[in-house]
C-alpha cells in the first residue's frame, strides 16, 4: 500500500511539474538555463578530468589498494570488516554516491551484516575533496584555502559520525583475519588482481573512462536543470514567502531573510545550485555562508538521496538510517564550522570571496594574537555542547530504530 501511495505521489508531482512548464514556459526555461550555465561553466570543467582519472585508478586497482590500507582504521574506529575500506576509499576519493553501489554489493554477497552495511554506507558517503576544492572553493568562492577548511570540516564530521554510529550499533563480533600476509603485500596483490579482473588495455580504458565520465556529468547536469525548475516552481507558488512569514512570526529573534531561506531550500534539494546561490548571496554573512555550505555538503541534497535509495533498494539496508545519519552529519558540520573558524582565521586572515568590495568587521585580521584562555574556554564550551547533542542523537537513534 505504501509503495502504491509513493508511486501515486511521484506521478502527481510529475504531472504538476509538466503543468507548471506549460503555464510558465519562460520561467521554466530561464531556471533550466541557470542550472545549465552553472553546470557547463563550473561543474563540468572542474570534475571531468578527475572523473576520468578516477575511472583509471579504479581499473588499475589503486582504489582497492587504498581499501586494504584502510582496513586497520575501519576495524579500530568503526568496528566494521576490512572489506568496508574499499567503499570508504571510493567514497572519500570519488565522492557520492559511488560508495553506495559498493556497499550494496558487499551486503548482497553477505560479506557484512545489515548493521555493518549501514555503518559503512553512512561513513563512506562523502563529497569528493576535488569537488570541494575545485567547484566550491575555487569555482564559487575563488579561494583555495577555504577549500582546505571546508574539506577538513567535512571529514572531521564524518569521523565523529562514525564514532556515534559505533556507540549506537555497538561492537560487532570480531571476525578472524583470513589474510596473514603483510598489509603492503596484500594491498599490492589486491591491486594487481583488480587490474587483472578488469583486463582492458589503456586505450580501451581511456575511451571507456571518457564516455562514462561524460555520462555521469550529463546525469548531474540533467538533475541540476530539473531541480532548478522545481525550485522555481516552489518560488512562484509563494511557498517560501509563507514559510518566511511563519518563521518571522514565531521566531522573532531569528533574522532569516527570504533570500537566505531560498538559498538553503535550493541546497536542500540540489547541492550545486544551493551552494552557488549561497556563495553569491550578499545578504548572508561570510561565516554563515561557509557553515551553510558545510552543512549542505554533509546533507548532499535530495537528488543524491534518490540515487542512494535506488542503489540500496535490492538490499535490506534501511534508507531511514542513511537519512538520519545525513541529518546528524549536517548538524555536526554546522557546529564544527564555528568551532574551528577562529583558529582558521588566525592562519588565513585574508580569506574572503573576491566579489566582495568591503571587508566586514568579522573578517578583519586581529591586531594581536587572540586570547588563549578566552578561546580555550569557548572551545571547551562548544565541545561540551556538541557532546551533549551527540548523546541526544544516540538516544534518538535507539528510540527511532529500536529493534
Contact assessment for residue 304 and residue 97, using Cβ atoms and an 8 Å cutoff: yes
Cell representation of residue 26: 519562460
Q: How many residues are listed for the chain in this entry? A: 403
Q: Which of 356, 308, 310 is nearest to 143 (CA)?
A: 356
Q: Are 169 and 119 in contact (CB under 8 A)?
A: yes
Nine cell digits for residue 1: 500500500
Residues 186, 85: Cα–Cα separation, whole Å: 13
Cα distance between residue 99 and residue 123, in whole Å: 10
pLDDT digits (tens, 9 = 90+) for 250-268: 555 555 666 777 788 888 8
pLDDT, one tens digit per residue, over 265-317 is: 888 888 888 888 888 888 788 889 999 999 999 998 887 888 788 778 888 89
- Range from 167-171, 243-247, 384-388 carrying the lowest mean pLDDT: 384-388
pLDDT surpasses 90 at 154? yes
Handedness of CA 241, 246, 252, 254 (dihedral sign): negative
Q: State residue 403's pLDDT score.
A: 43
Euclidean distance between CA atoms 339 and 381, whole angstroms:
10
Question: 243 pLDDT band (50/70/90 cuts)?
Answer: low
Residue given cell 542512494 in the structure block: 308
301: left (phi over 0), alpha (psi -120 to 50) or beta: left
Q: What is the pLDDT of residue 179?
A: 53
CB atoms within 10 A of CB 48: 15
pLDDT of residue 111: 75
**What is the domain partition of the chain in residue ranges?**
23-171+182-400
In whole angstroms, what is the distance from residue 368 CA to residue 95 CA?
40
Sequence-distant (≥ 6) Cβ neighbours of residue 314 within 8 angstroms? 104, 108
Assessment of whether the complete model's pTM goes beyond 0.75: no
Q: Can you tell me the distance from the alpha carbon of 9 to that of 15, in angstroms, rounded to the nearest whole number?
A: 10
Q: How sure is the predictor about 173, in pLDDT bands with cuts at 50, 70 and 90? A: low
Q: Is 287 exposed, middle or buried (0-12, 13-18, 19+ CB in 10 A)?
A: middle
In whole angstroms, how large is the CA radius of gyration of the chain? 22
Over residues 207-226, mean pLDDT: 85
Which three cell numbers mark 163? 564514532
In this predicted model, what pLDDT tens digit does every residue of 50-78 receive, in sequence order?
A: 778 877 887 888 877 877 887 787 778 88
pLDDT averaged over every residue in the chain: 77
Residue 306 and residue 322: Cα distance in Å, rounded?
A: 12
What 8-state DSSP symbol labels residue 174?
P
Beta carbons of 142 and 280 less than 8 angstroms apart: no
Q: Helices 114-124 and 84-93 sit at what angle, rounded to 10 degrees?
A: 20
Q: Under 8 Å CB-to-CB from 43, ≥6 apart: which residues?
A: 135, 139, 217, 220, 221, 224, 272
Q: Show Cβ contacts of residue 295 under 8 Å, excluding neighbours closer than 6 positions.
A: 330, 331, 333, 334, 337
Q: What confidence score (pLDDT) does residue 356 get?
A: 45
Q: How many CB atoms lie within 10 A of CB 152?
A: 16
Distance CA 4, CA 105 (A): 27
C-alpha cell recorded at residue 227: 531541480
DSSP letters along 298-334, please? Answer: HH--HHHHHHHHHHTTTSS--HHHHHHHHHHHHHHHH
Strand stretches in 226-373, DSSP E? none
Amino acid at each position: 500500500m505504501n509503495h502504491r501511495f509513493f508511486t501515486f505521489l511521484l506521478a502527481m508531482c510529475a504531472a504538476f511539474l509538466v503543468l507548471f512548464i506549460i503555464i510558465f514556459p519562460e520561467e521554466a526555461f530561464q531556471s533550466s538555463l541557470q542550472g545549465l550555465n552553472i553546470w557547463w561553466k563550473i561543474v563540468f570543467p572542474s570534475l571531468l578530468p578527475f572523473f576520468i582519472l578516477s575511472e583509471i585508478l579504479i581499473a588499475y586497482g589503486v582504489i582497492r589498494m587504498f581499501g586494504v590500507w584502510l582496513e586497520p582504521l575501519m576495524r579500530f574506529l568503526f568496528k566494521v570488516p576490512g572489506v568496508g575500506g574499499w567503499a570508504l576509499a571510493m567514497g572519500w576519493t570519488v565522492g557520492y554516491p559511488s560508495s553506495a553501489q559498493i556497499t550494496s554489493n558487499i551486503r548482497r554477497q553477505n560479506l557484512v551484516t545489515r548493521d555493518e552495511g549501514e555503518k559503512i554506507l553512512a561513513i563512506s558517503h562523502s563529497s569528493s575533496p576535488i569537488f570541494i576544492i575545485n567547484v566550491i572553493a575555487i569555482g564559487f568562492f575563488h579561494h583555495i584555502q577555504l577549500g582546505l577548511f571546508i574539506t577538513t570540516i567535512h571529514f572531521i564530521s564524518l569521523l565523529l559520525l562514525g564514532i556515534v554510529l559505533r556507540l549506537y550499533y555497538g561492537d560487532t563480533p570480531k571476525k578472524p583475519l583470513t589474510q596473514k600476509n603483510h598489509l603492503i603485500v596484500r594491498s599490492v596483490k589486491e591491486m594487481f588482481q583488480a587490474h587483472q579482473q578488469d583486463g582492458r588495455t589503456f586505450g580501451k580504458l581511456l575511451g571507456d573512462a571518457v564516455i562514462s565520465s561524460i555520462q555521469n556529468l550529463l546525469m548531474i547536469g540533467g538533475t541540476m536543470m530539473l531541480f532548478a525548475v522545481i525550485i522555481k516552481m516552489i518560488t512562484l507558488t509563494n511557498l517560501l514567502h509563507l514559510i518566511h512569514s511563519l518563521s518571522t512570526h514565531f521566531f522573532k529573534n531569528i533574522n532569516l531573510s527570504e533570500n537566505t531561506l531560498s538559498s538553503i531550500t535550493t541546497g536542500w534539494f540540489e547541492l550545486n545550485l544551493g551552494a552557488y546561490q549561497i556563495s553569491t548571496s550578499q545578504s548572508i554573512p561570510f561565516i554563515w555562508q561557509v557553515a551553510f555550505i558545510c552543512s549542505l555538503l554533509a546533507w548532499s541534497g535530495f537528488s543524491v538521496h534518490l540515487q542512494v535509495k535506488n542503489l540500496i533498494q535490492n538490499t535490506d539496508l534501511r534508507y531511514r538510517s542513511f537519512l538520519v545519519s545525513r541529518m546528524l552529519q549536517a548538524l555536526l558540520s554546522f557546529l564544527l564550522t564555528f568551532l574551528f573558524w577562529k583558529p582558521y582565521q588566525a592562519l588565513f586572515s585574508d580569506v574572503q570571496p573576491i566579489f566582495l568590495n568591503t571587508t566586514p568587521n568579522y573578517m578583519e585580521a586581529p591586531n594581536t594574537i587572540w586570547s588563549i584562555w578566552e578561546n580555550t574556554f569557548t572551545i571547551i564550551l562548544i565541545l561540551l555542547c556538541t557532546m551533549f547533542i551527540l548523546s541526544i542523537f544516540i538516544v534518538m537513534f535507539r528510540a527511532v530504530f529500536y529493534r
